[in-house]
Chain A
Amino acid sequence: MSKNKVFNIVCWIFIIAFLVVSVFPFFWIFISSFKPEAEIFGANCYRIIAENPTLDNYKVVIFEKGMIRAVGNSFAMSAITTIYVVVVASMSAYIISRFKFKGKSILMGLILAVAMFPQMIVIGPIFNMFYKMNILNSYWVCLAYSTITLPSAVWIMVAHFNQVPLALEEAAKIDGCSTWMTLWKIIFPIAAPGVFTTAIMSFISAWNEYLLSCTLNIDEKVQTVPVRLSYLKDQFTVFWSQISAATVVVVIPTLLIVLLFQKRIVAGIANGAVKE
């Protein structure tokens, strides 16, 4: 019995250590965001509560450094990506899950291969393509996000569509429902949890994307959150207090997404683990 107790205590210590380590960076950024720049460098740089707490950092990053605009860009681009990825992925996942055709396993293998390829391989040609078409620094970058979001979306969707019973579709077919209608009116609503998981995972991938957007969208007007933030550091002096404030501003939306959708996110991660 006491052995069990020791085991439990070890477990709890481990959990608590994990939580402390996970939260500490956010905590540090949070308290630093209220420090005036002088207190970041000076002798007091490890103080927890700032001597002269200030909101100036927030004012600067929001009104002068375009952080809010970056959050808006990120949000819009992720939303656009999510919408088209969900539509395209459900259409193809439906066919892959319900119909027999030549080259189906080749298609699935291809999708898997695309998910595994280093993203670096497409960036040069995509940059040149966007350059020639004169669509650098625009929202067109969302289409390029397909290379990171579509493959996993199709995989998750196929797994979910496979679980939808066939009987309903047959009934729908007898009632004269076309393939198109069957997909959107029958399968889509039944597989809604899976669809939602796909959507949230695509949204997060697009939200976190850095390589494509830092290469294709360097104009401040269309920069996304990760790119905008990395530009704050690239200047000659690094204002850590402003960067801290900016980080807090961009972590808040992520936090909201996680709190609101954590069940679906966990399901999405689990989908990666227990395939089929």
Chain B
Amino acid sequence: MVKRMTFKQFLFILPLLVFIGVFSIYPIVVSLSYTFFDYKTNDQQHNGFYLSEQLNEKLFYEDCDYINYFIDADKTVEGLSDEDLATFEDVEADTTAIMAKYENATGVTKVSSDVMEEITAYIDSVEQRTSDIYERNSDLEFYNAENLPQIIKDMRSTIVESNFIGAAGFTQLLHDTRFSKALGNTLLFTVISVTLELVLGMLLALVMDKAIRGIGMVRTIALIPWAIPTAVSAMIWSYMYDGSYGVISKIFESIGLISKQSAMLLTAQGALASIVISDVWKTTPYMALLLLAGLQVVDRGLYESASIDGAGPVRTFFSITLPLIKPSILVALLFRTLDAFRVYDLIAILTGGGPGNGTESLSVYAYKLMFNQSNYGYGSVVVMGMTVCVAIIAIIYVKVLGADVVSNN
């Protein structure tokens, strides 16, 4: 009874489309557009997207006002020659003339190149004429001999240059050693923790699959580390790793795993190990439950016949169990790999990326760029680099899995 969809039924998926559109697709597109601009929200000349030169008309108008105000004061200085006085008045007249054009200005506007030339010419001539006067009369005491050049400098910054940088951000990315270091850290963390989780999770799943008695309790306890927020578990672990009174760092020191207690969070290897341990602790049970679900669909009869044929547990696992649950393993691995690759909260709370940048993951680096340095442009470039990696990982898995993961029928 598969029917064609009509408009009325389309309304049913509309909310989904709106949500995905507004909170996923739109931000992704916007993020992509950030990458082409030198976009920094803490810098007035970069806080926006300027494909062409623009003029901050309001500021320009205010600066003109200051020029006239300063000149008014300096005109009254005793000992100024008539010629210089006339030049001052000329400058004032020019300024008043140009101000008239921007009387109702409100902010940054795109202006034609003619206007831009006119403004640059005006600024140049004002600068030329006034500095001449100040130089010629260096013995006189002007009120604004220093203020006026300052305001002219300000005026030049009202011309907002284009901050369109095209693909330059991506070129920068290729030469960014901090990015490659973060990529290395992320890959290392992903590979080590996902491998450990898979091996331990598989063992746990096999044991849980065998043992019937008490499995409920084991399952409940296994769910707790997974269900608590990562941020909370990161806090718990950072207390236990503490360099002077952490219980885990103390245990590791006394069994000789680390040389001194403080090595746990203060050396790059120690900190990476700390992060991996916390992640393995939190996620292994989840992995085990994922794999257990796969194991439980395996026909019990197969195990019996294997045992009748004299196969031991190891042989049974590799010849029967493993091939049968391969799809479950791959799906579990795909989602875990992507999750581990995007790791943010665990590292942000546990080490903040430190010591140095020793444990900084791509997410942590991108977040610092965007929210600590307000550099959304380059931060987005880093995120895009990360997205490309995620896409590569996903494509590799899907190729291995076959297309049936995506198609739903």
Contacts and interface: CB of A to CB of B under 8 A. Distances in A.
Interface of A: 7, 11, 14-15, 18-19, 21-23, 25-26, 28-29, 32, 40-41, 45-46, 87-89, 91-92, 94-96, 98-101, 104-105, 107-112, 114, 116-129, 143-144, 146-147, 150-151, 154, 158, 166, 169-170, 179, 183, 204, 207-211, 215, 225-227, 229-230, 232-233, 240, 243-244, 247, 250-251, 254-255, 257-259, 262, 265-266, 269-270, 272-276
Given A18-B204, A122-B31, A125-B30, A11 B210 contact: yes
Contacts of B234: 230
B23 A121 contact: no
20 contacts: A15-B214, A22-B222, A22-B281, A25-B237, A28-B239, A92-B15, A94-B12, A95-B9, A98-B2, A99-B3, A100-B4, A118-B362, A121-B27, A146-B23, A210-B231, A226-B232, A230-B231, A233-B238, A257-B227, A274-B328
B218 A15 contact: yes
B28 A99 contact: no
B342 A119 contact: yes
A259 to B, nearest CB: 7
Contact of B13 (A11, A96, A183): A96
B53 to A, nearest CB: 24
Interface stretch (B154-162, B163-171, B243-251): B243-251
B interface secondary structure, majority: helix
Nearest to A241: B239
Interface string B14-34: 011001101111111011001
Contacts of B236: 25-26, 28-29, 247
Interface string B332-366: 10010010011011000100000000000011001
Given A116-B394, A257-B227, 14 more contacts: A14-B204, A18-B222, A21-B281, A23-B221, A45-B245, A114-B25, A121-B383, A124-B376, A124-B383, A204-B227, A258-B220, A269-B289, A272-B335, A275-B331
Interface stretch (B92-100, B143-151, B291-299): B291-299
Contact of B223 (A109, A158, A258): A258
B232 A109 contact: no
Contacts of A124: 27, 30-31, 34, 370, 376, 379-380, 383
Minimum-distance CB pairs A-B, first 10: A270-B293, A226-B231, A122-B27, A125-B27, A125-B30, A92-B16, A101-B5, A45-B245, A208-B229, A210-B345
A178 B4 CA distance: 15
B177 interface: no
Contacts of A210: 229-231, 344-345
B371 interface: yes
Nearest to B393: A116
A233 B195 CA distance: 31
Q: Which of A14, A121, A204, A262 has the most CB of B within 10 A?
A: A121
Nearest to B20: A114
Nearest to A114: B24
B305 interface: no
A22 B221 contact: yes
A258 B224 contact: yes
Interface string B260-274: 000000000000000
A123 B344 CA distance: 12
Nearest to A106: B406
Contacts of B407: 105, 108
Nearest to A7: B313
A129 B16 CA distance: 19
Nearest to B220: A262
